[in-house]
Amino acid sequence: MDAPPYMSSWRGVSEGLPLILEILDYYRVKATFFTIGILAEVNSKALYSIIDKGHELACHGYDHRRLDKIPLAEARDNIRRCVRTLREYSDILSFRAPNLKLPPQLLNTLVEEGIIIDSSIAWYKPPFYFKPKIEARVYRIPASYPSSILRLPWVAVKALFAKRINYVILTHPWEYISLKASLRPDLTLGVGSRVGLNLARLIGHLKNNGYIFLTMRDSISKLKSHMVESS
């Protein structure tokens, strides 16, 4: 869905997703796609296009409602419905909450549904998790930057990735197309061809500097020895 809840179109899936897959395929990179469950009803072929390329399919809530803005019982059902819907297409082990907002009470729901990896935290949002950690038997891997980073000029993107850390790059398919129909400047500024070009440049740049790209599930074997369990 394009920039929910402000838009309800699906141009990002039909136009942006193929471009992302093409870029990843060119650089032989496998990625994790956090996907809302309702996509299975709207465009199941998009799910197969992700899976058939060898990428990881992961849960992003059923319909992208913020889980911290609805009753806990409803949030639990939302997660369960998403996981169970997507598991009809692929094994689901990873989760990311919409807007990176996951009430801590829902970590147990992830465990109950067989989710072992959560990336609903970020180093740029409170409580500012800088390193991966284990919490409630879930591996929690922070996102490094918001998706809007790829909308900046390349020189700025390159500078932001100068420090060597374990990066988790956020990007939305709708940011690869023009959304001029929207009047919200935060949804239109910098979107379009620059985002695709910057993604390709960034992958090439990081590869040239010795980085290895891993899906969420594949990263656990590399990171878990460095994780600290939260009390």
Torsion sign, CA atoms 187, 190, 192, 194? negative
pLDDT at 53: 96
User: What's the predicted TM-score (pTM) here?
Assistant: 0.91
Tell me: pLDDT of 36 over 70.
yes
Diameter of the chain measured on Cα atoms:
48
Looking at domain 11-220, its CATH class is: alpha beta
Whole-angstrom Cα distance, residue 200 to residue 204? 6
pLDDT digits (tens, 9 = 90+) for 87-122: 999 999 999 999 999 999 999 999 999 999 999 998
The whole-number average pLDDT for the span 131-138 is 88
Confidence category of residue 150, pLDDT binned at 50, 70, 90: very high
Whole-angstrom Cα distance, residue 27 to residue 204? 7
Tell me: pLDDT of 29 over 80.
yes
Confidence category of residue 46, pLDDT binned at 50, 70, 90: very high
Tell me what the pLDDT averaged over the chain comes to: 88
Beta strands in the chain (DSSP E): 32-35, 56-59, 94-95, 117-118, 133-135, 138-140, 228-229
pLDDT at 183: 59
Nearest CA-CA partner of 13 in 55, 53, 52, 42: 42
173 upstream amide cis, omega within 30 of 0:
no
